[in-house]
Structure 1
Amino acid sequence: MKKYFILFALFILPIVAYLFFASGINSFAKLPTITEKIPDITEFKTADGKTVSLDNKITILGFTGSKIIYNEGNFFNLNQKIYNKNKDFKDFQFVMVSPKGSESEVAELLETLKPLAHGKDMSKWIFVFASPEEITNYYSKLNLVGGLDKDFGTSNVYIVDKARNLRGRKGKNLEGKEEYKEGYNTISAADLHNDMSDDVKVILYEYRAALKKNNNDSRMKRKI
């Protein structure tokens, strides 16, 4: 019985894991880069004056605009479809850029979302504040097709990897079809549940696989 368990652990589990991560995934072997090395966000501060960095984190980056409570349904979708599923990943964070003066609305939003977060853990929801001019200037450096609305926000959110590359879908997918997707529309629960959920899964698996490889390489070096 022990022999069969070992065989199952060595051969079957890796296949199951691969199928889990590859099963509905985004039609790309690897999540493409839309914009390389976007600027860090350390110039903006949280409501309590803290600095946040995109370095060495997988970040869901968003721009809330000034009508935060009006658009709270978007944050509800993001919380339910993406945050709750991935918040336990150590190096995962949500960074939302908001106009200065909207601090009270952000606090109200977080209180609304808290009962809906598994374990009521909102620590990965991070809001930083900047002037409209600073937000517009920063967004322009992302080199995206889309733009901000008149309230200095967008319903789209973006995936940024640990090296500050903005990732999405670009070029020919595995079916040979041209595809482009730089952001994920929080208005659409379907977009988050399908495309974004799959793409986040891909990038998390990417880092898990890299970590596993590094650990295996270290073991091999110790044996040599």
Structure 2
Amino acid sequence: MKKFFVLGFLFILPLVAYMFFAAADHNFSMLPTLGEPVSELPEGTKSLRGDSIVFDSNITIMGFLGKDAKSRYGHVFNLAHKIYTPYSEFYDLQFVWLIPEGAEGTIPDLEEKLSKIKETEKWQFVVLSDQQIRKLKAELGSPHKLDDDLGSDYVYILDKDKRLRGRDDDEDVGTLYGYNASNVAELDDKMDDDIQVILAEYRRALKKNDKYKRKQL
């Protein structure tokens, strides 16, 4: 009897484990898509540090710094502590702040302050025309308005296909298009969780693709 029990246990355990992981794979949560892809940045767009910047094939944390950038330093510092510091090492994750033409003079001061929190290599400050900024904001479909200086308290997550990601069942607002960078609790409780979900989603897709390639070989 003991032998049959052990053999039965050894047979059943892998089956149960397989069913558990299969169910987990099937029910894997994804961060909801909230609209159509936004336009790519104009061809040849570079950040103030000279890096070529595109949305395609990158997970982008995007914000609108506005002409009065100093008034949003606190927002940037909140994002630096809560999101940039723990996640900036992910190679396909980029942090892009959009700046209207003529407002770039405040950025060196901001970068110097940010460097005291963590290296600023993944912070990308991109200068666009007023019209380009308004067009991109409109394409997001977010109800949050830009301020008169073309800045915003909110930051957004774009996936590798340039689509806005967020929540469609948020307990507070229903559809969560963006994250209020002036609210540390929202960054800590909601945005942090959602960044983990989308990063896990792409890691999972990468592993599945790698397994498929190996099978083909």
CA contact (8 A) 1:34 1:165 kept: yes
Q: Does 2:37 correspond to 1:37?
A: yes
1:1-224 equivalences in 2 (<5 Å): 29-43=29-43, 44-47=45-48, 51-117=52-118, 120=119, 122-170=120-168, 172=169, 179-222=174-217
How large is the RMSD of aligned CA atoms in angstroms? 2.5
Cα distance in 2 for residues equivalent to 1:48 and 1:216 = 38
- Deviations 1:67-89 (CA, angstroms, capped at 9, x unpaired): 11222111000000000111111
Secondary structure of the 1:95 match is strand
- Deviations 1:174-216 (CA, angstroms, capped at 9, x unpaired): x9x9831000000001100110000000000000001111111
- Deviations 1:88-120 (CA, angstroms, capped at 9, x unpaired): 111010011001112121111011001101xx2
Aligned to 2:11: none
Gaps of at least 5 residues in structure 2 are 1-16
How many residues are aligned here?
194
Secondary structure of the 1:35 match is coil
Q: TM-score, normalised by structure 1?
A: 0.79
Tell me which amino acid in the other structure corresponds to 2:41.
I
Cα distance in 2 for residues equivalent to 1:56 and 1:202 = 17
Moved over 6 A (4+): none
Cα distance in 1 for residues equivalent to 2:50 and 2:91 = 23
Instruction: Name the larger-Rg structure.
Output: 2
Identity %: 38
Q: TM-score, normalised by structure 2?
A: 0.81
Cα distance in 2 for residues equivalent to 1:212 and 1:127 = 32
Gaps of at least 5 residues in structure 1 are 1-10, 23-27
